[in-house]
Amino acid sequence: MATQPATESDFSLDAAAAVAEREGGKQLEGMGPWQLAWRRLKRNRVAMASLAVFFVLVGCCLAAPLYADHIAGRGPTATNATGTIQIDGKKTFVVTPDGTPIGPGLHKQYLLGADPLGRDVMVRLLYGGRNSLFVGFMAAIITAVLAVGLGLAAGYFRGWGDRVITNLFDILWSFPVLLFAIALGTALAIGGLQIGPVNLQGDSLWIPIVIIGVVYVPYFGRPIRGQVLSLREKEFVDAAVAQGMRAPRIMFGEILPNLSSTILVFGTLIIANNILLEAALSFLGAGIQPPEPSWGGLISDGVNQIYTAPHLSLVPGVAIVIAVLSLNVFGDGLRDALDPRAKVRLR
Amino acid sequence: MLRFTVRRLINMVFVLWAVSVLTFLIFMVMPGGGDEQAALRIAGRNANEQQVQTVKREWGLDDPFYVQYADMMKKVFTGDLISYVNQVNVREEIVRGIPRTASLVIGAGIIWLFFGVVFGVLSAVYAGRFTDRALNVLALIGISLPVFWVGLVLLYYLTDRIALFPPGGYTELGEDPVDWAYHLILPWFALSILFIGFYSRVLRSNVLDISNEDYVRTARSKGLSERRVLIRHTLRNALIPIVTLFGLDFGAALGGGAILTESVFGLQGVGQYASDSIGRLDLPPIMGVVLFGAFFIVLLNAIVDILYAFLDPRIRLQ
Amino acid sequence: MSTTEPAAPASRPTDETLLTVEDLEVAFATEDGLVEAVDGVSFELKAGEVLAIVGESGSGKSVTAMTLMGLTRSPNARFSGTAHYEGTELIGASEDELRRVRGAEIAMVFQDPMTSLNPVHKIGDQIIEQIQEHEAMPDQQARERTIELLERVGIPRARDRIDSYPFEFSGGMRQRVMIALALSCDPSILIADEPTTALDVTIQAQILQRVRDLREETGAAVILVTHDLGVVADIADRIAVMYAGRIIEEGTLDQIFYDPQHPYTWGLLGSITRVDRPRPERLPAIRGLPPSLADRPQGCHFRPRCPHEFAKCPEVPPLESRVEGAPGHRDRCWLSVEEKRERREVRPGEIGLPDKEEEAPAA
């Protein structure tokens, strides 16, 4: 058996183990890969801050009803086209007679301005965020479940099942993601989905969830299948088979845990991409259907007033960017922490 | 090489067929609800009873599904696909929009490929230093921006607040090349920014990985200059996967980013046609665009795979 | 005589010292502290001799070899010490200086032939590239020289195979291509980093034979880095044994094999399987594991595993010659030469380390 020459990364892991021994003062074997990864992640302050930002954003959106009730004083669909509020002591129209709504400012009502119907943009932003984030997250779960399930089955069993699944992936993959989602979105928006026991209305939130969930399955499923293929050849699988373990137990008990880091990293990325995709779909009208607010929908509502009331379209975009960017930065940090062959590690 | 090409083209035909079946399933079969629902969908939201009946007849919705499929494909190939909402022939509309969409996507593609590669290589060469960190931050922001929102931001700040660029619209290339480009600069930027970010990260990762490969070490041990090692050894290998990636992304831009960018900037290309139809939930044009887009992408992927085999002898000679 | 052959090298005087390494230290700054891979290594290499650097994984032998060529490029690497080659100082030299030396004067053969060649270029092109980098030679001539090199290392049908890609060769063949590549500019030093570790035992023998033959023909000096003493016995003139970043014993082949001075060396030799002896009940092995690189024992690094440890060991033993009349045979063990000779004969005719419980080492 060939012995590997020591490389820099070997030193890094040995060093970590050595430090662990020193710190603990006991005969530690060295830290397991998960503890090492967690330690590295915690040290990455940018990534942790990013995660915090994301959680704060989610928290704010979840607190939408609280905000609406206690601060803004109106819900996301409450119109107020002819009303007035006090700004700097002056009584101002919420929407001027020629249709221009007020912009963002430091007032409790209409913190981020109003739309032409007099609705509170901040409130709609938070409620829209709830919808958009919910869709993004649930869709990611669907993608993960389907991709891991199919990828595991294809990679482990091989044979004709694998061929069918791979071809399915290839065909789905030929549809660019947005186009595919649009096709599904528009087809389902009119009449809803009626397959067997499943009966969804055209404007149900679950339709974009299912669509976005399905659309990314090949993107996630192929790498999973690839990893399963190589994991399958490792000795611990042979050992499990020799022990008489049956296929499902091997797949879920032995192989799946080894996929965890891929799933984690990809999962974060998928949620970020889902938010962007949902925004694009809703912008076009093939995603979350009105009157439910969504970030993409808000942007599309404001397109016609882009020059007179730019805040309508620009503000929701900022929310999207914050959500996606924080996830991406955290995802980077997660990938760095989980990578056992971490190369250049500078002090 | 020839055998590989032939095999790939055969595979392509199969996938095209599968794509058409899938499109059929998505629009006609899957949502369920039977013929009545299908007719309603195709005729559009505001269709009256007479239009619905016309649709039922012309689309053979009372027939078994394989006949329906044959009918649909016949309509598509003979250019007989009509939008019932505004009585317009879908194929004509698509053909009219092609040069505009092509201008947008090809231009953006060249831009993002160039800048993505340059930034990626710079990041890799200066890995860990300021240039790398700065470029990485920019890249991260780039991949987090929604394309259509970027377009709107650009429109507001650069065509209204400061009237640096025209606020959308399209000039034919033949008419006035300078004006043509002038109108496309903002759309090109909006469409490519996401890909520039993505490519520079992918390339940085590839180049760094390959720099650690044994054969790059061998190349250095031969006494070659760093530049030669970089170009003839590292990049020669690192750029190969980019070929496939570019094929995929070009397809994604065509079938996705273009739709969004065109509608924001009012370029009246195939993408905008699709986006307008989506807003109206007008099915026939969407079907047409989806098929057109998917077909084009399958073709593109086949070309890309063949190109890849040309570049990597391991694929070609096995 | 073919015009593509290099100038006749065979008449190099063999006591000219080509390379002098003094106090070489290589450390890596990691997030968990400074990790020392090479901890004060010094040796000399004379023209035409084969020096084997032997040690376990993590002993620092590969890093030493790579550093001589300037191939240790991690941004968190810290170097100190010197390595003089024919007037050029290799440690800390500029890239330009190193490039002049690489390939033309000092060439390297790496461990894994499967990944050491660029997969998208033909093997002939890769050799021609090196030749043309260092010598102004027209394409056709370089091609002829390459074909000849491939024939010399034993590639059949070299004229055809020069246009093949690496994946069309087996591991053993690829390693021969690597050797041809290394010798293409007639270097004075060939560094071979575990050249046979990734190969079958039978191929191993063939490759070593080639290296030996080529050494005869070209007169180049060879630094052979390996963990395999069997390989060493075949081909080395001198041996340096490394442990935990230091050279702990150094001498000629005979000196090391027949009069080893350091307990670690005894362990290495004792753990060789022998076909000419009755099978022992248990193959003697060295207890314990090499120390973690960031946290080495004070003084002699081998202390925790050495059954003969005594009071003086916490003081770093200098690399000195302690054997009478053998100035070139140096080691790092405080025990006297008599004590060493006594302790290492555990059973008649066999060298090995006793179990730690069995005896009581007295200082």
Contact map slice: C 98-117 vs A, CB within 8 A: 111
Q: Mean pLDDT throughout A12-33?
A: 45
Question: Which pLDDT score, from 0 to 100, does residue B40 have?
Answer: 67
Mutation target vs C (from A8, A13, A336; most C CBs, 10 A cutoff): A8
Contact (CB, 8 A) for A195 and B32: yes
Q: Do A19 and C33 touch (CB under 8 A)?
A: yes
pLDDT per position as a tens digit, C74-132: 878 889 999 999 888 888 888 888 888 888 889 999 988 888 999 889 999 999 999 99
- H/E element holding C133? helix C123-134
Unique residue bearing structure tokens 């890969």 = A33
Report the C-alpha gap between C294 and C291 in whole angstroms: 8
Within A201-255, residue ranges assigned H as helices are 206-215, 217-232, 235-242, 247-249
Nearest to C37 among A3, A11, A18 (CB): A11
CA–CA dist A18, A29 (Å, integer): 9
Residue of A nearest to B271 (CA): A179
| Alpha carbon of A13: minimum distance to chain C alpha carbons (Å) | 9
- C30 CB near a chain A CB, below 8 Å? yes
Q: What is the pLDDT of residue A194?
A: 65
Q: Give domain limits for chain C.
A: 119-185, 261-351
| Chain B residue numbers touching A169 (CB-CB < 8 A) | none
When comparing pLDDT for A149 and C351, which is higher?
Answer: A149
Inform me whether the C-beta atom of residue A336 falls under 8 Å from chain B C-beta atoms.
no
Residue where the block lists tokens 């001027």: A96
Judge: B260–A280 Cβ closer than 8 Å, yes or no: yes
- Check pLDDT > 90 for residue C18: no
Task: Compute the nearest-CA separation of A233 from chain C (Å).
Answer: 20
Per-residue pLDDT at A197? 66
Considering only CB atoms, B218 lies closest to which of C100, C117, C134, namely: C117
Q: What is the pLDDT of residues C138-186, one digit of tens each?
A: 999 999 999 999 998 889 999 999 999 999 999 889 999 999 999 899 8
Cβ–Cβ gap B317/C165 under 8 Å: yes
Check residue C272 and give its pLDDT.
67
Instruction: Determine, for residues A175 and B297 on separate chains, whether the beta-carbon distance falls below 8 Å.
Output: yes
Give the chain C residue whose CA is nearest to the CA of A343: C74
Flag whether residue B311 sits within 8 Å of chain C, measured between CB atoms: yes
Q: What is the pLDDT of residue C355?
A: 44
The helix/strand/coil state of A86 is strand
pLDDT confidence bin for C9, thresholds 50/70/90? very low
**pLDDT attached to residue C301:** 87
Longest dimension (CA), chain C: 71
Contacts of B61 in chain A (CB under 8 A): none
Looking at the complex, report in whole angstroms how far the Cα of residue B250 sits from the nearest Cα belonging to chain C: 26
Q: What class is the B97-268 domain?
A: mainly alpha
Average pLDDT over every residue of A23-37: 57
C206-220, C224-238, C278-292: the lowest-pLDDT one = C278-292
Q: Of B72, B152, B198, B254, which to mutate for an interface test with A (greatest number of A Cβ within 10 Å)?
A: B152
Taking contacts as CB-CB distances below 8 angstroms, the residues of chain C near B218 are: 108, 110, 116-118, 178, 181
pLDDT: which is higher, A21 or B111: B111
How does DSSP assign chain B, residue by residue?
-HHHHHHHHHHHHHHHHHHHHHHHIIIIITT-SHHHHHHHHHH-TT--HHHHHHHHHHTTTTS-HHHHHHHHHHHHHTT--EETTTTEEHHHHHHHHHHHHHHHHHHHHHHHHHHHHHHHHHHHHTTTSHHHHHHHHHHHHHHTS-HHHHHHHHHIIIIIIS--S--S----TTT-HHHHHHHHHHHHHHHHHHHHHHHHHHHHHHHHHHHTSHHHHHHHHTT--HHHIIIIIIIHHHTHHHHHHHHHHHHHIIIIIHHHHHHHHT--SHHHHHHHHHHHT-HHHHHHHHHHHHHHHHHHHHHHHHHHHHH-HHHHT-
Report phi then psi at C137, rounded to 5: -140, 130
Q: What is the pLDDT along chain B (318 residues), one digit of tens a residue?
A: 778 788 888 888 888 888 778 877 777 766 655 566 666 667 666 667 777 777 777 766 667 777 777 777 777 777 777 776 677 788 888 888 888 888 899 999 999 999 999 999 999 988 888 999 999 999 999 999 999 999 999 988 888 888 788 887 888 877 788 888 888 899 999 999 999 999 999 899 889 888 888 999 999 889 888 888 888 899 988 888 888 888 888 887 887 778 899 988 888 888 888 888 877 777 778 778 887 887 788 888 888 888 887 777 777 665
- Give me chain A's average pLDDT, please: 80
Q: What tens digit of pLDDT does each residue of A96-150 get? A: 777 788 888 777 778 888 888 888 888 899 999 999 999 999 999 999 999 999 9
Residue B46 has a pLDDT of 67
C276/chain B closest Cα distance in angstroms: 39
Residue C60 and residue A2: Cβ atoms within 8 Å? no
- Mark which residues 34-93 of A lie under 8 Å from C by CB: 40, 43
Asked if B16 contacts B302 with a C-beta cutoff of 8 angstroms, the reply is: no
Confidence (pLDDT) at C348 = 41
Please judge whether C292 and A4 are an interchain contact, meaning their C-beta atoms are less than 8 angstroms apart: no
Q: At residue B224, what is the residue type?
A: L
A8 touches chain C (CB under 8 A): yes
Which B-chain residues 184-243 have CB contacts (< 8 A) with chain C?
213-215, 217-226, 232-233, 236-237, 240
Q: Which residue has the higher pLDDT, A82 or A136?
A: A136
Name the residue with higher pLDDT: A33 or B150.
B150
**Interchain contact, A12 vs C111, CB within 8 Å:** no
Under an 8 A CB cutoff, do A174 and B19 touch?
Answer: yes
- A6 and C294 within 8 Å at the Cβ level: the answer is no
The confidence score (pLDDT) of residue A185 equals 80
Identity of the residue in C69, C112, C121 whose CB atom sits nearest the CB atom of B221: C69
What is the pLDDT, as a whole number, of residue C223?
93
pLDDT of residue C162: 92
Taking CB atoms and an 8 Å limit, are A190 and B254 in contact across chains?
no
Residue of B130, B283, B290, B292 to mutate, testing the A interface (most A Cβ within 10 Å of its Cβ): B290
Contacts of C56 in chain A (CB under 8 A): 3
The pLDDT of residue A321? 96
Do the chains contact at A313 and B254, CB–CB below 8 Å? Answer: no
A45-49, B74-78, C27-31 — which one is most confidently predicted on average? A45-49
Higher pLDDT, C211 or A142: A142
Please determine, for residue C359, whether its predicted confidence score (pLDDT) is greater than 50. Answer: no
Residue carrying the six token digits 């007679």? A97
pLDDT, average across residues C45-52: 90
Chain C residues whose beta carbon lies within 8 Å of the beta carbon of residue A40: 31
Q: How far is CA A289 from the centre of its chain?
A: 20
Please indicate if any CB of chain C lies within 8 Å of the CB of A21: yes
Nearest CA to CA, how far is C94 from chain A (Å)? 22
Chain C hits for B313, CB-CB cut-off 8 Å, are 119-120, 165, 167
- The answer for residues whose C-beta is within 8 angstroms of residue A36's C-beta and 6 or more apart is A13, A16
Q: What DSSP designation does A120 have?
A: B
CA distance B128 to chain C (A): 9
Distance from CA of C114 to the nearest CA of B (A): 9
To which residue do tokens 């709504």 refer? Answer: A101
Cis peptide bond upstream of A104, omega within 30? no
* A191/B208 CB distance under 8 A: no
Nearest to C32 among A4, A5, A19 (CB): A19
